[in-house]
Structure 1
Amino acid sequence: MAIRSFPTKSKMKTSLLEIKEELKKKSKHKTDSLVKLKLTKDERKLIDEIKEKTRQLNVNNVTRTQAYFDFYRQHPEIHWALLGHMVSRNGGWHMTDLKGDLLTRLMSEKEQKNFFSFLERGNWLIFQDVFPQFLLYKQSLKLKKNLFYLLPHLNVSRFMETIWNNFWKNGDCSILAVATIINEQSYLEKRVIQNHYFKKTVLNTIGFKLYDFLRFNQIIFPFYKNQNTEKPHLIGETLQHFESLHERIMLGKRLYSLLFQQKSIFQGVLNWATNHSHTGSRNDYWDHLFHTINESLPGTIYRKRTKKCQLKKGAKRIYSPPLQFSWKNVDHQEAENGDWFEDWRIADYLIEEEKEVGGKIYDDYCKTIEKIELAIVTKKAIFHRRE
């Protein structure tokens, strides 16, 4: 197969037309052909091996995040593996924030657990859906044979079967990456976002609306501009309207553009990620502001510590624990059955937008931390008045 990271417009247009035509056919014939397809002994063995390997790596956010990065280094043509790695890092940081210095002062223990369950389920679901696809691709390369007809046996959407077949033929890395964004967000829609339990315990709660209001839902990519010894810079985007599938897909596309459109940023992110293993603590990227050890005495009244992402004189660093000290590993129930794909027009998201993505997030990120600190101080003042 020929790999083309960024194909010419004419070739991309041809690929998109082929994809749409195939998806139109699948939209008309919604019956599942899986029951008609019998596997050989070797095929069954391969499916079992892929499921077992995925299970071994799908232990927690740290193992998943590392698995994405390891796969990307072996197969840099699979752009989503690096994007997934960086977004999964953010998932880990959001998980440990729930046990850090700031959010523990704003959220009850029950709210913290509910938020973690929500984040962890989504993180787990994406990995168990996408990583088997990667492993099947790896085996296809090894055997020099298209094995994507086995995707239904891994409960992967018919949408991705079309995409992988097209990638095997045309090698368009960008189309595959954006399609994976579409697939994973669509996969989560009913299983997490529209899930009654998560709506009740997370998405419809005051805590989540506060979380959204404070903009503590930024996706950031640390990167080096010049050399590995400097404090990393940040680039990223803020997710607004989390419950909107459209907004989540568009965010994914913007993040992909940020990561792969500019060579200097791509190389800077890659260098930073290579030199910093993911622990889940925000100390991974800014040790001047965050610490894996809680430096404050228990029961200490919180006072604002930061200004423009710098500590005030004499202030303690913000406690940001590693994941292993924040949450125990979770035994998940099997993923819900069902294929999200129904309408071929979802492929319209594959069309590339011409506008340039900004990605400037440093000031907003700093203001977010300051707003959260202000909310903590305000909450404490109101609490004392009521007493």
Structure 2
Amino acid sequence: MKSTTAETTSLVAEIRRQTATANRNNVTRTEAYLRFYRQYPEIHWALLAHLVSRNGGWNMTDLKGEWLPILLDEPSIASYFWFLERCNWLIFYDAYPQLLLYAKMKETGEDLTSLLAPLGVSSFMHGFWQAFLSTKDSARLTRALIVNEQQYIEQRVAQKPYTVHRIFSSLAFLAQSAFSLNQVLFPFKAHATDKRFQLVGLNVHDFPTVEQRIAIGKTLYGLLYEDDARLARICQFAYRIPHTGSRADYWPHLFTPHAQNAAEPAADVKYELRLHGAELREGRAKLYSPALSHAWPDVEHAPADGFDWFRDPKWLETVDQPADLPTIDTDSYVRALHWIESGVKLVSLFS
């Protein structure tokens, strides 16, 4: 049975309401992606978005954690949080209505892709969703969503004068590049009896380049789905460990969300190294990594601005173009932690 105009108007309003409720902060967004994926595992993008959003939360709380406050001043920290939060909010604002509309189409068996336009979704996605209803090609839909969401934030955040002149030239952004502070990590247990999670992922560089961000998304998707056994173990991590924003979610032997358990040196005491390999040095306190709820308040966002980004048909061709950037594993992540800590130690000596 075809929906009436009143019914479709009501559905659009309900999708907007549910999206706004779930878009309150990084934790609620991340939970919503996973909740959707568990109901509709054919939508691979939802799992990828959940895991990337977890990493976004870790990056947000790093700004109030053990190391970055030593490297950065408060204005830089606040500006970089706004940047991370705005990107996270905008992607959810655009993508989650698409997921909810698909859920409704699956429930009713009706093609409701005509409602993508009233939901503000780019015309780029319409054909991909229509094709998915018949082909069930999860990989192609995922790649299309990767292209779309990175283009969505391109004009709304990445190319804004404030972002170009204040964020990409800020101490926070430069520190992220200099000290390899921004990785995307997928935790998993290599064996069921392991006590600790192994890590696989990649370093993120050149955020200002939309082509690079698309390549990052495609590489992460390939990494996530290339090994069925590892995928199952990554899902076990996602299902078992609630997202709090603290890096203690995946490595509680190194990180703690509790400030009272973290070292609190006096202002004139220089930073002492904590790490020895993947362990803490004897007698050293864990690294402070707060939960998002303790690091940042919820943010009231300005409405999403901009227009439909899709103007050049060449972007349709990019969906099927391969991407295979270098990835990292647990050992390389540990080396990055040591590099970051050494940088923090050096900065603290001259502060």
Q: CA deviation at 1:206?
A: 3.4
**Matching residue of 1:311:** 280
Q: Deviations over 1:271-317 (max 9, x none)?
A: 11111000000000000000011221352531111132221111111
- Could you tell me which amino acid in structure 2 is paired with residue 40 of structure 1? T
Distance in 2 (alpha carbons) for counterparts of 1:375 and 1:229: 31
Q: CA deviation at 1:358?
A: 6.1
**Matching residue of 2:301:** 332
SS at match of 2:322: coil
Distance in 2 (alpha carbons) for counterparts of 1:225 and 1:361: 12
Q: Is the 8 A contact 1:140 1:147 kept in 2?
A: yes
Distance in 1 (alpha carbons) for counterparts of 2:270 and 2:101: 53
Q: CA deviation at 1:200?
A: 2.5
Q: 1:228 to 1:349 in 2, by over 3 A?
A: farther
Correspondence 1:144-183 to 2 at 5 A: 144-183=109-148
Q: Is the 8 A contact 2:33 2:49 kept in 1?
A: yes
Q: 1:210 aligns with which of 165, 168, 175?
A: 175
Q: Deviations over 1:334-364 (max 9, x none)?
A: 0013011111111222225396x76333233
Correspondence 1:108-119 to 2 at 5 A: 108-119=73-84
**Matching residue of 1:68:** 33
**Matching residue of 1:296:** 263
Q: CA deviation at 1:149?
A: 0.7
Q: Is the 8 A contact 2:155 2:306 kept in 1?
A: no
**Matching residue of 1:31:** none
- Could you tell me which amino acid in structure 2 is paired with residue 78 of structure 1? I
Distance in 2 (alpha carbons) for counterparts of 1:173 and 1:342: 25
Q: Deviations over 1:141-161 (max 9, x none)?
A: 111111011111011000111
SS at match of 1:234: strand
Q: Is the 8 A contact 2:30 2:53 kept in 1?
A: yes
Q: 1:225 aligns with which of 187, 190, 201?
A: 190
Distance in 2 (alpha carbons) for counterparts of 1:231 and 1:70: 25
Q: Is the 8 A contact 1:281 1:323 kept in 2?
A: yes
Kindly indicate whether residue 69 of structure 2 is the aligned counterpart of residue 104 of structure 1. yes
Kindly indicate whether residue 208 of structure 2 is the aligned counterpart of residue 239 of structure 1. no
Structure 2, unaligned runs of 5 or more: none
Kindly indicate whether residue 249 of structure 2 is the aligned counterpart of residue 281 of structure 1. no
Q: CA deviation at 1:375?
A: 1.8
Distance in 2 (alpha carbons) for counterparts of 1:240 and 1:144: 42
- Could you tell me which amino acid in structure 1 is paired with residue 305 of structure 2? E
SS at match of 1:153: coil
**Matching residue of 1:136:** 101
**Matching residue of 2:345:** 377
Distance in 2 (alpha carbons) for counterparts of 1:271 and 1:141: 26
Distance in 2 (alpha carbons) for counterparts of 1:57 and 1:140: 20
Q: 1:60 to 1:311 in 2, by over 3 A?
A: same
- Could you tell me which amino acid in structure 2 is paired with residue 340 of structure 1? W
Distance in 1 (alpha carbons) for counterparts of 2:310 and 2:55: 27
Q: Is the 8 A contact 1:304 1:370 kept in 2?
A: no
Q: 1:265 aligns with which of 230, 234, 238?
A: 230
Distance in 1 (alpha carbons) for counterparts of 2:212 and 2:57: 21
Aligned length: 344
- Could you tell me which amino acid in structure 1 is paired with residue 264 of structure 2? L
Q: 2:328 aligns with which of 326, 343, 360?
A: 360
Q: Is the 8 A contact 1:289 1:310 kept in 2?
A: yes
Kindly indicate whether residue 13 of structure 2 is the aligned counterpart of residue 45 of structure 1. no
Structure 1, unaligned runs of 5 or more: 1-38
**Matching residue of 2:46:** 81
SS at match of 1:346: helix
